[in-house]
Structure formats: C-alpha cells, structure tokens
Amino acid sequence: MFDYLNPERQIEMETRGVSATRTGNIRRYGLAILAAVVALWLRKLLAPVFGEQNPYHTAWAAVVFSAWYCGVGPSVVTILLEATGIWYWFLPPLRSFGLRDARADLFGLLGFVVFSACIVALGEATRRSLARSMWAEQQLRDAHSDLEAKVQQRTAELSAANDNLRELSSRLQQLRDEERRQIARELHDSVGQMLAALSMNIAKVRSQAQKLDTAGANALAENGKIVEQISREIRTISHLLHPPLLDVAGLASAVRWYVDGYAERSKIKVDVAIPSELSRLSNETEIAIFRIVQECLVNVHRHSGSDSARIVIDQQDQDIVVEVRDSGKGIPAEKQLEIKSAGRTGVGFRGMRERLRQLGGTLSIQSNSGGTLVTARIPLRLNTCPELRQDMAS
C-alpha cells in the first residue's frame, strides 16, 4: 500500500525490496551455474575411475542441489548446462556435438532430462511444503507473541485495577474507622450529655415524689432505671465503636476492657496474655489488632461452641504476633478450602486480611475438631508509634 503521507520513504522501501529480490535471484542462478560447472569438472576428474560409461553420476548431484536449494529456474539452467556439457565433453566423439551412437546417446540425454525434471518437480513441491510449514510456524510464533503481549497487557491492567481496588479498600477502611470514632464521640458527648441532663431532671422530680400518687412515683422510678440502662447501653456502644482506652491507655488496656465485657455478656471464659513491656504501636496497628481480636471473639461466640478462649499478643523477633485460640468444634473442611483459596470467606476474614495487608502482615488459620487457632503476624518495623520509631532509629 502506497504511503501518501511519506512517498519518498515508500519509494525507498520498494526500491530496497526490488534490489533484495534481484540480489537473491542472482545468487540462486549463480549457485546453480556453479553447481553445474563443479559437477562437470568432478566428472572429468573421476573419468579414470568411472570411465566413459554413464557420464551422469555427478550431474544428478548438481540437479538435486539446484532443485532443493535454488528453485525451478536455476534448476532448468543446471539441467541444460549439464546436458550440454555431457554431450560436448563425455559423449563420443569427445569435444564435439556429433554422436557416434545417436539413438542410444539421445535416449540417454532424454532420460537424464526427464528424470531431472521429476527431481526438480519433487524438490519444488518439497520446497513449497517446507515454505508453507515455515510460514505456518511463523504465524504461530507471531500469534503466540501477540497473545503473550495481550496477556501481559491484561495482567498489567488487572494488577493496576487490583492496586486501585486495594487502595480504595484501604481508604474505605480508614474512613470507616474514622466514622466509628466520630460516632462514638458524638454518642458520648452529645447523647450521653443529654441523658445525663435527663437523669438530673429525673432526680429533681424524684426529690418531690411525695407529691405524686403511687402510680406516678412508680413511673418516675421506672423512668430513672430506663435512663440509667440507656446510658449504659450508649456507653457500651460508644466504647465498642471506638474504645477510648485505645487512644489513652493503649492496646493492652483496651483489649482487657473488651474481654471483660465480652466474658460477662457471653459467659465464655477468656484468658489474655499480653506482656507488660509491649511498646505502643501506631494508631492503625493498634486499631487493626483490636478489631482482629474483636472479630475472632465474635466468631468464637457465634460459631465455635467453645466455652473458653485464649488471646496472646506478643513480640517475636521483629513481628507483633496475635493468637486467638478456642476449644470449639472447628471450621468445616469446605469452609477451610474457601478460606485458603481466598474465595467467599465472609466479611470477617476478608476484613482481617485486608487490615493486615495494609500493614504488611499475614493471617493464618488452623482448625480441627479440637478447636481453631487464628494467628496474625504484623511487621514491627514502621508500625510503632512515631515517638518510639524515632527512638529506635536513634
């Protein structure tokens, strides 16, 4: 197709193509002629061995070479040169185009030409078959290369999409934690204050309860109890959304506070082992560990059927390791396969894995009929609080 935008380049490319074709033709014809000359020369050298009988020994080799390598046109030239040379140099009388036994010699030359033509036809068919095979292989290689390029492109696009999705998930997780913190603060500061004011008003009315009849006094006392219960529920919800101890006293105090409330509500005995020398971690790390412990204990209560659990939070080498173990019925085998294959494993496990992934950590789950062990491992480096991180660096 002619390049209208750059005609000079198109003309140059066509000129190069014509020049390459011409050079290839010259080379093929030159090799065919050289093969014919060499075959005649070898036959002359081997004359003492073969004698004057059957002068076509080396000519067959030249014809086969030309048919296999040079193509039809050069092969015809080789056949003509061989026939002419044999007639002139090897058929008596020598060095003459006369023939002593014209009938036999002409039949010999004719047989040579016919069989040479068959060899050329066979060679050309083989050459074309080989060319088609090479073309098909090249097409397969090109298709394979195109497929690999497309796969790499799709893989890159999928990787970028996954990175964007992880970034979005991380951002949503942070926004959810921040929203929990704000809701907890609003419940404590706004609703809690209003309930406190309502409780004080009820106390003032209660001081004048003697002016009320029995039904009114009982209703007032019941309202006071309801307000106290609502206050406790609001405080519990606020602390569960975002425990204030996590910011003030640290991870150990927040976990122990939650475990105490959990054990009282669920009647499940929980042992907690946290070393006193455990250093403060970054806010994101402490929130992640607290949420993991919270989710694991919820699973123990809902699914395991265990009456006890044990929580261990410790520093091992350069990692923070969190272990939650129960003695329940374990996770079913099909559910474990889903967890290992990262399938639809439920919001809880996905949430834990995503939190740990953001911190560079890992989650492993071991379960059998004797219970379940959930282990979270978080690199300590870059996950301590900024002040301790500076101390470690110095």
Is residue 211, in this structure, part of any structural domain at all? no
Write down which residue in 104, 125, 151 finishes a domain. 151
Average pLDDT over residues 209-231: 79
Q: Distance between the two ends of the chain, CA-based, in angstroms?
A: 70
Is residue 169, in this structure, part of any structural domain at all? no
Q: Which domain holds residue 70?
A: 7-151
Identify whether residues 144 and 32 lie together within a single domain: yes
User: Helical H runs in 187-327?
Assistant: 192-207, 214-241, 244-248, 251-266, 283-299
Q: How many residues does the chain have?
A: 394
Write down which residue in 116, 132, 151 finishes a domain. 151
How is residue 104 written in tokens? 């036999």
Residue 93 above 90 pLDDT? Answer: no
Identify whether residues 32 and 141 lie together within a single domain: yes
Identify whether residues 388 and 254 lie together within a single domain: yes
The mean pLDDT value of the chain amounts to: 81
Residue 283 above 90 pLDDT? Answer: no
Is residue 104, in this structure, part of any structural domain at all? yes
Is residue 223, in this structure, part of any structural domain at all? no
* CATH assignment of the domain containing 328: 3.30.565.10
DSSP 9-52: HHHHHHHHHHHHHHHHHHHHHHHHHHHHHHHHHHHHHTHHHHTT
Identify whether residues 147 and 249 lie together within a single domain: no
- Confidence class for position 7, pLDDT limits 50, 70, 90: low
Identify whether residues 268 and 144 lie together within a single domain: no
- Confidence class for position 382, pLDDT limits 50, 70, 90: low
Is residue 230, in this structure, part of any structural domain at all? no
Identify whether residues 389 and 248 lie together within a single domain: yes
Is residue 111, in this structure, part of any structural domain at all? yes
Considering 77-81, 86-90, 342-346, 355-359, the range whose residues carry the highest mean pLDDT is 77-81
pLDDT in tens, 294-317: 889 988 888 888 889 999 999 887
Is residue 222, in this structure, part of any structural domain at all? no
Identify whether residues 16 and 145 lie together within a single domain: yes
Identify whether residues 141 and 262 lie together within a single domain: no
Q: What is the tally of structural domains in the chain?
A: 2
Is residue 352, in this structure, part of any structural domain at all? yes
**Sequence-separated (6 or more) residues with CB below 8 Å from residue 110:** none
- Confidence class for position 257, pLDDT limits 50, 70, 90: confident
Identify whether residues 383 and 253 lie together within a single domain: yes
**Burial, 184: exposed, middle or buried (Cβ in 10 Å; 0-12, 13-18, 19+)?**
buried
Query: CA-to-CA distance for 156 and 150, rounded, in angstroms?
Result: 10
User: Helical H runs in 46-101?
Assistant: 47-50, 57-65, 72-89
pLDDT in tens, 52-84: 677 888 888 888 888 888 888 888 999 999 888
Identify whether residues 146 and 259 lie together within a single domain: no
Confidence at residue 269, expressed as pLDDT on a 0 to 100 scale: 92
pLDDT in tens, 122-159: 888 888 888 889 999 999 999 999 999 999 999 888 88
Report CA Rg, the chain: 47
Write down which residue in 151, 185, 215 finishes a domain. 151
The lowest-confidence range among 2-6, 117-121, 332-336 is 2-6
